[in-house]
Structure formats: C-alpha cells, structure tokens
Amino acid sequence: MAGDPRYHSTLVANFINKVMSRGKKNTAARIVYGAMDELGRQTGEEPLEVFEQAIDNIKPRLEVKSRRVGGATYQVPMEVKPARQVALALRWLIQYATGRRGIPVQRALANELLDAYRNQGAAVKKRDDTHKMAQANKAFAHYRW
C-alpha cells in the first residue's frame, strides 16, 4: 500500500481509508489532515510522531475470543497479530471520536488522538478493558488453538 501524499505514511493512508465513508476520500483526507494540523498546534511536536505514538498507545496486545468446548463457551485470551492491532486501534479511535457530539469530527479526532498520546481517553480505556478481560480469563488459555 502506498503512503499518503503529505506524510508518505502507510498508517496515515490506512487511517484516511478508515475515516472515509460513502467513497468520499477527499473529505476523509481533509478531516484527517485537519486533525493532524490541530494535533501539531496543540502539542508543538511533529504531528506524524504524535499520531504514531497515539496509535501505539491504543493497540491491544491481547484480546479474548469465544471458544466452544463441549457444551460451554469460554473466553480464551489470545495474542493479537500486528495488523489486527492497528485495525482495532484505528477503529476504536474513529468510534470514540465520532461519539463526541457537539464538535466537528476534525476537532474530535484531534482531541481523541491527543488523549491517546497522553495515555488517557476512551480508546485507551477500551484497550485496558480488553487487557483486563484477557487477564481475568487466563485460566482458559490452555484452550488456545
């Protein structure tokens, strides 16, 4: 996959594609680049580095998957593959940014990214909850396949 035109990053290009709805890529790119500019203004640092660090802070290392054994269903903790880590992180980021009502999506994305960069906010809480679920169910790890 080729990188985006401004930052030449495949991660940003992937993020633009995730933000895009109804095939409106230019609108999605405007939203993402606006959020990145806002992020650069708020932190005073390179927006791409802040973005990458924020995504890294959201990525889940473990998750639980349902596994049916006999008549019972167990939540089995599994390690998350790197591509899925990024996909989940981007999905959660967009979900919680669009959930912030009353402010433009561009600013909401910037705020959610900033919260993730500072290891706080809804997306980081989601990652922590996912890790807690995996930790609580580690007794069923022997059902891993």
Q: What is the pLDDT of residues 17-72, one digit of tens each?
A: 999 999 999 999 999 999 999 999 999 999 999 999 999 999 999 999 998 988 99
**What is the pTM assigned to this prediction?**
0.90
- Crossing angle of helices 105-117/122-136, nearest 10°? 50
Which domains, ranges and CATH numbers included, belong to the chain? 10-143 (1.10.455.10)
Q: Are residues 18 and 90 in contact, defined by beta-carbon separation less than 8 angstroms? A: yes
